[in-house]
Amino acid sequence: MKPLKEKVSITLDSDIVEKIKVLAENDDRSFSQYINKVLKDYINELKDIQE
């Protein structure tokens, strides 16, 4: 079963949005999928550091 998703609304700087759009396109992901991946990777790195 897929993990449940939740809609959220955030405000980002315009330059960040443009960079994420390019990175997401290069990774063949949607904007939302790319942000989700980046956040998961970051959280996993933090978890590894704290252990």
Residue-level pLDDT at 48: 81
Q: What is the pLDDT of residues 2-44, one digit of tens each?
A: 778 899 999 999 999 999 999 999 999 999 999 999 999 999 9
- Tell me if 33 sits within 8 A of 24, measured CB to CB: yes
Residue-level pLDDT at 51: 74
Report how many helices (DSSP H) and strands (DSSP E) the chain contains, helices first. 2, 0
Residue-level pLDDT at 7: 92
